Structure 1
Amino acid sequence: MPDLEQDLASLCSDFSTLRAEVGKVLVGQDEVVETVLIALFAGGHCLLEGVPGLAKTLLVRTLSECLDLEYSRIQFTPDLMPADITGTRIVVENEKGRKDFEFQKGPIFGQVVLADEVNRATPKTQSALLEAMQEGEVTVGRETHVLQQPFMVLATQNPLEMDGTYPLPEAQLDRFLFKVHVPFPNRDELTEVLERTTGSRTTQVQPVLGGEAILRHRRRILDVEAASHVQDYAVRMLLATHPGGEGSPEMVTRWVRYGASPRGVQALLLGAKVRAALDGRVHVSFDDVRLTAPAALRHRILIGFEGEAEGVTSEQIVNAVIEQVSEVVEDGAAGT
């Protein structure tokens, strides 16, 4: 345990340094930055949703500059093809003057990959990310290419109500560890944005964390323990997102079509372990799971047609699930 505590202290230090470096460029968005960094150390991918102009792309680009990792960007458009993402085989002339095929890697072969405005492309093109995000490899033709680790996809999207957007397939959404809503800045933050962007002052960030350190932190985070009752709490929360599931609130039974997949509970626990580690603890608490739940579950819940007509959101469903399950667990603890 002493070695683990020492390693977690190193993680906390690197996390704080990285967060401060990102903060040199980004104004506000503290919760957004924290959630993205938690996803980074948990080994997952992150989907950022917000209207245009909220610095989603700036956040990803700044984070990539703060990490000593290869960065690539994919600008999703309606005419983008899967091969534009994964790469393709092209005809080249070899040393003997003969024609041969050579694989030209696509932008998915970066380590920090920005999938900008991912819901501007068609579902077929969006699905080109699936294998890379889940397996860490890309198959083109009969050849499979392993991606360099650490590998993280940070996708941005506009709300579906905006023109020219396509909903992400459920399988694609499920590959994201977290979905983060990017809020509109308040008055003070807008004033700070003006001061930073309309004057002569420029800010440069430096790489403060490399790939080996990230992989080392990821391995040690897995050693943070989650007791059986904490794991049960996470499982109960997942089951409660399903209509007719154990302990599901009335809102779920009435409005939800499909609940979260098993990846949801994995995301809950991985995110909770990172939160515990950042708090200097080697054990996960109920609060760690509770704080992780919105980002881990909101994109994995499919609202039914009636719910959509009534304006029910997955955010409301997740809040109802957290409240219901927490009451049941607390009542059970009080009765023992």
Structure 2
Amino acid sequence: MGLTSNKVLMVAIVLAALLFLGTVWLWPRLARQNWRAVSGRVGLLLGTQLALFAAVGLATNQAFGFYASWADLFGQETGQGVVVDHMAEGGNSPVQVVSASRVIGASSSLPQMAGQVQKVNIIGRTTHIATPAFVYLPPEYFQPQNRARRFPVSVVLTGYPGTAQALVDKLHYPSTAQQLAKSGKMQPMILVMMRPTVAPPRDTECVDIPGGPQTETFFAKDLRDSVTAHYRVDKTPASWGIVGDSTGGYCALKIAMHHPKAYAAAAGLSPYYRAPLDPTTGDLFRGNKNLQNRADLFWDLKHLTAPETSLLVTSSRVGEHNYKDTLKFIKSVQGTNVTRISSIILPSGGHNFNTWQREIPPMLQWMSERLVAH
């Protein structure tokens, strides 16, 4: 059974409950002062605490999607990361479809009725970055009358460490987009769902690291080129948006601000506005002060030409640490008179999936209104 399996979580909960009841029941019998009784008490306490920690840890991972598998948890995951692209020019597609599945909660398994979620590998021609992703294709994509139609695209990024799978089955992006389009609240849209961490386990903060992964270039150029080469989408920025939560939210805002000719709109759910430097990131800038400044969105707004793009930021008055910075960011963008800014401010809500699930439907509607279909 997998790490994110509900069966594993239930087994851990039941085991913890049984050990707790067993401790209460057996404690009087182990009240003596001999080594066997003492060893029994220690064993019961240790076993109960380990079971409780395991249950809480599994539940937390289920809620936040930190690790996708046992191999990922124990650092044995080797299927992702920065690789050298050995394909010749004009060779295989830069998007390799691994599998296809139905949309969770859909009443039909037919793609033309319910859409489809494809698990893919995306390969960057210039950055030589390869990373897995999930692509949601709406029902309209498969309908005969839409063979010549090109669809708008939203790139959807997780936080760090995050898993792309969580965007599908925890935050429910495909099913939410399908329901909103069905009810006429947004246009049919392709979603490209992935981690911003394209060189795991390192947190690159979507920076072009000197001598390291060129993550910003991957999202600004290679990802768009790869998706455009494989799917019926338009390459113009008016058809492209980017969104993310937490680290992904920071990446989305930064990439749209730095590359308005790549993305017409960006949304940051609970974003921050400066790239951190910590053990997970390492030295991102190699002493280059200009690169470090450009990774600060407040510095960008003050010193660079304001980009002609639309931005959406979210926060909560109670529960989010980014609330004051978000208000400051909104005010700074308003001062440019060029970049357009919108916001979703909840009365309360923490930095978690539950909060983002409340923000995703209105965010997708906002994004849909700013992208053009051809």
Q: TM-score range by the shorter chain?
A: under 0.3
Larger radius of gyration: 2
Q: TM-score, normalised by structure 1?
A: 0.27
TM-score by structure 2 length? Answer: 0.25
Relative contact order (C-alpha < 8 Å, sep 6+): which is higher? Answer: 1
